[in-house]
Structure 1
Amino acid sequence: MSGALELVQFQLTLQFLREYPHRRRQSRDISRFDALEVERKTLDVRRRLLEFTDERDFLIKRIQDMRPWGDFVFSPLHEMGNLRFWFYVVPHRDMPKVAELGLPYEIVKKDNRNSYVVVISENEPEGMPVNRTHIGYQPRHVLEALLEDVELAIEDVQAERAYLTRWYTLIKDNIATLEDQAALTAALNQTYTRHEMFGLRGWVPQNRLPQLTDYARRHRVHIDTREAEPDDNPPTCMENPSWLSAGEDLVNFYMTPGYRTWAPSPVVFISFALFFAMILADAGYALLLGTLLLFFWRKMGASRAGRRFRPP
């Protein structure tokens, strides 16, 4: 398992245990703590809990869909003469369309808005005003029994989760070490050392390549360059005119765009300014901010950071 993947697994473990509302008393005995074993058990509990929760939600929905039709057992198809039951929840206003089909049907229940209709046909009826309701082939009492089993299984899994929470503090303390190991592994993957030879791999913007090449020549260092491959993931370098550079800060505040995506800094800067102007439609606020801008105009222009927030 790579260092980065192992770190992600531990972070999932830590989050899963942190979200449990009733943690056990924390164990401090590091001699009894096996980080990999706790991670394996916790992720297994997480997987089973997700599976049981999905199954429970499915059963609850299926039982709710079946409730208006009652609890019954389907007869074998050959005893039905290859006829099947098709279930529909039809608004009262659309019931004449059902009658026009000429198929045998039965209204088993009505409420204020809908009629619950069973149509008898060998194939799914065509021309029904609504889509059919899927209720499956198992009787409702069987689904209710399955639901009880699943809910008991969820309680058992939550009990396992509660037991594992006693290692939460030790996992949290161990995360820092894992992060250091992952950072060290990433750095080692970008370097090469053998006897007196040392190699370093990294990324450089294309417009800075002449500067880097000149540095390598002056220091008698060999440099080899290549374009980014399709499966590479270089860091993103955004460069805009000084009067648009503030847009970079706005973009990076939310998320740095990917290397192969278009740079949204100019659009974000202009649209943000427009929307901000719309929000500050009150002339008093606009006048106040304009006065502050004029007051600090020279001071902002005296530093590179200040010039990012005002045009030259």
Structure 2
Amino acid sequence: MIEPRLIRKQRIIFVTLLLLIILTIGIGMGLGYSSLSYDRLLPVLFGNGTFKEEFVLYQVRLPRMIITLLGGMALSLSGAILQGITRNDLADPGIIGINSGAGAAIAAFYLFLPINAASFAFLLPVVAFFGAMLTAIFIYVLSFRKNHGFEPIRLVLIGVGFSMALSGLMIIMISSAERMKVDFIAKWLSGNIWGTDWPFILSILPWLIILIPFTIYKANRINILTLGDPVAIGVGVAVGKERFILLLTAVALAASAVSVTGGIAFIGLMAPHIAKTLIGPRNQLFIPIAILIGGWLLLIADTIGRQLLDPQGIPAGIMVALIGAPYFLYLLLHNNNNT
């Protein structure tokens, strides 16, 4: 049973994060290459703006911020699931190669298959899912040792190896492609938020609507899996089945996110850890907090990055990596000291 004190604390943190997200969106709506003054935001939101103001807000800034928010939420939830089912605090869909698997599939689809503009936004998450799932299965199999089970550092090292190999594969694929397609893949690799139209929101939203409640429903099973296979088997959990279902969920979340946000790492690493620090290790408590933290981190990274260099700005993936890479090294050294 969860203490009422922790539930109250979770609600306070949850509401605080919601307010931070709303504040960041409000600030972001007034920032950018095309000026839109803050005193004009409310009139524009209620349909009393000029054509230019409404175009900038509804066709440029608002869909981009919503995509960024949803992508960060999906990546953070994917990271939380992966850390739970692998009992590895360093697991992240970007670090262990799942994002690169999705990216390689997207690159092959974009470069070598005919593209239908009407269905492109909705096919990308599906293509990314199959690429990410294939990669996850290889990593899952290779990181498992018969007499030892999963080894956390082994999982990370194999995942990093897959990530580098698949990134190299993408570079090989684009080496002979036409310039426009090369630009697209290059932006994807740098973590540039490129899916900034409303159809891309509709392509990622159903995955989150289904998989967030499903993961929260499975939160207690993740709690049990983190205790180790002998304990989980002892209380009657079908370990293999549950782990595979949750792995599918994590891969689907990561694939849906990177199909529109590009190759962004470290959100799935940082957000769950920050949430656990704030509210504790129970998945029922920290997963909703991690979802909001992930969305807010990516949103604020993209908002700041857009202001640093005109007109394109610095990709959100690079902004996140500037914070995430040192954080990953800290966790790696911390884990080594504890083993």
> Please, what TM-score do these two structures have when normalized by structure 2?
0.20
More strand by share: 1
> Please, what TM-score do these two structures have when normalized by structure 1?
0.21
More helix by share: 2
Q: Which has the higher contact order (CA 8 A, sep 6+)?
A: 2
